[in-house]
Amino acid sequence: MKKEALAPIFVLSLICLFVTGVLSISDMVTRPVIDEASAIRAEEARKEIMPNAGEFMPIYAEGFPNTITEAFEAANNAGYIFIVTAKGYGGNIVIMCGIGPDGRIIKTMTLAEMETRGLSTPVFEMEGEYTGKDKSLEGIDAVTGATITSNAYMGAVRDAFAAFEIVRGMQ
């Protein structure tokens, strides 16, 4: 009776241990590759927004809207980059918003979204319209049929401006 009860526990534990061992080895192999690739991707995305910014430094301040997941300041005062995660219609919309020292948008870029194909596409195609706008976002309209996506995008940009004001206020 006792042996019958112990054997399954023993075998299952052994299998778990073995699988854990194999996975930790494969993690040791793949982790550096993954980390390096994601650092390169992040750097490339920042460069795309501010090609002549040089180095970026991560910044953080109290009072940032909680949608701001990361913020960077260009070392040569070329501007700030905010990564904002907003709630869209189909899931999170992650955008990168570059704001220059003059308070105007340099460029916005979508990093990830899961919005309805087709209906929401114009929202992401008109990204270029944000370039040069100040915090009033004058002239930006919501896309018909994709109001939630449009508002989420616009809200994300506004949150980036809110964070921008805080950063500026500290200096």
Q: Binding residue for another protein (CB under 8 A) from 59, 119, 162, 166?
A: 119
Q: Does 40 bind another protein (CB under 8 A)?
A: no
Cα dihedral value 103, 143, 156, 131, nearest 10: -30
Q: Which of residues 4-33 bind another protein (CB under 8 A)?
A: 7-9, 11-12, 15-16, 19, 22-23, 26-27, 30, 33
Q: CA-to-CA distance for 128 and 116, rounded, in angstroms? A: 20
CB of 146 to another protein, least distance (A): 12
- Reading phi first (left if > 0) and then psi (alpha if -120 to 50, else beta), residue 137 is in left
Task: Tell me the three-class secondary structure of 90-123, residue by residue.
Answer: CCEEEEEEEECCCCCEEEEEEEECCCCCCCCHHH
> What track of x and - describes contact with another protein for positions 79 through 118 (by CB under 8 A)?
-------------------------------------xxx
> Which residues bind to another protein, rule: CB under 8 A?
7-9, 11-12, 15-16, 19, 22-23, 26-27, 30, 33-34, 37, 116-119
